[in-house]
Amino acid sequence: MPTLMVSISGIRGIIGDGLDPEVLVNYTSAYADFCGKGKIIVGSDGRISGEMVRNVVIGTLLAKGNDVVDIGICPTPTVLFNVKKLNAVGGIQLSASHNPNEWNALKLLNSSGEFMSAEENAGMMKHLYEADKKFSAWDKLGKVTHYRKGLDNHMEAVLKMDYINVAKIRKRKFRVLLDCVNGAGAYSMPKLLNKLGCKVIEINCERTGIFPRLPEPIPENLTATMEAVIKHKADLGIVVDPDVDRLVLITEKGEPFGEENTITQAVKFYLKERKGNVVVNLSTTRAVEDVAKEFECRVFRAPVGEANVVKKMKEVDAVIGGEGSGGVIAPQTVFGRDALTGTAILLQHLVEYRGKMSGLKKSLPQYFIVKKKIELVPVSEGTAPRNPDDVIKKLVEKYKSEKINLEDGLRIDFDDHWVHFRKSNTEPIIRIIVEAKTKENAENWAEKYVEEILSLR
């Protein structure tokens, strides 16, 4: 069965098994109709199928009469930045994020240089369903411009951020072990770190687009990287996913800094300089709220998903936000997750902290997150799997007297822990995320909730 995953951020699938040229033409054509005439920015994370996908997408946009500004292999946030800077009507990043080599995707942006809202996505999908594939005549085709200043534009804005003192960072001469999994980070992160005066030890920074390991930057995929931090006596390790929107850090001891701590330390640094509202998603650590409380600032939570966090940030005029997956969003540069922005903030924070990465980690509120998933198998042979919506409704009824949030599944906040139940949109699965002050307590609560769901009838 071909695999194609459709969401408000675009389409994602396996090349040769779902994400085929015809599909690319159909979705790109619908997107062009949604955007209307004007220029569209196109970038790629450099993965091996990128050239084929790029040629199909650009050819389709030209056939629709749109001009294309091709900014080459670059981070997703670079495409976001340049849509706004160059006054484009839209932007497409060709990237399947942390998915393996066989995957690719179209990440679709609006004219503000942000991921489309649910309403915008619905508007685009109407064009797909109407199947009106009108193309331009020979004399009204679009034109391609190969624009090579896209990354420089983005990087310059990062280095000019408020509260970032490049001279002070350069003086510290950080020794950084960098792992870019051979993706777009190999084109951008060494350049940024060199501008910040760092001594960069590169691994997996070849510009091949072939991922040498599973590309999701989680600890189990980073054992060799963590060992390399110790071997090269680095001050820290920096790991990015293929399209450079997630920032994952490693301490000088070769230990995970913690993805949740990436956003927590960024919030702490930023609020120290500028008080204001903060937005994170419903699955992000409570440590962000603890830090915000120190500065008498408010934290708002949004449903999981970058577009949802950005929407809430705009509503409450947040000064910083992000997600616990290593995604930092600072509106001054890009209204989206950006590892380049996150890196500058982290290095400035370390300069002002005047200590090591392991010490910075210990200075943050300490929590532990445990994640589980339950496949809702049939209750008996021959019956259909239980409906995730029904399961969550029963949990809502049981915990209705507690502090609950229903914007994205069910989140319940207790004094000593919180739990977030979310259904999968593609499978009969419920995901459970639990956070507590100790790993043992988080594990115990998670097991309790698993048993509770399994016992529901």
Burial (Cβ within 10 Å: 0-12, 13-18, ≥19) of residue 413: middle
Active site residue ranges:
97
d(CA 235, CA 6): 40
d(CA 428, CA 430): 7
One-letter amino acid at 63 equals: A
- What is residue 189's DSSP assignment? H
Pair of tokens at residue 137: 């005549």
d(CA 185, CA 182): 7
| Sequence-separated (6 or more) residues with CB below 8 Å from residue 139 | none
* Of 93, 112, 111, the residue nearest 11 (C-alpha): 93
* Of 11, 349, 346, 344, the residue nearest 188 (C-alpha): 344
Residues listed for the chain: 457
The residue written with tokens 């534009």 in the block is 153
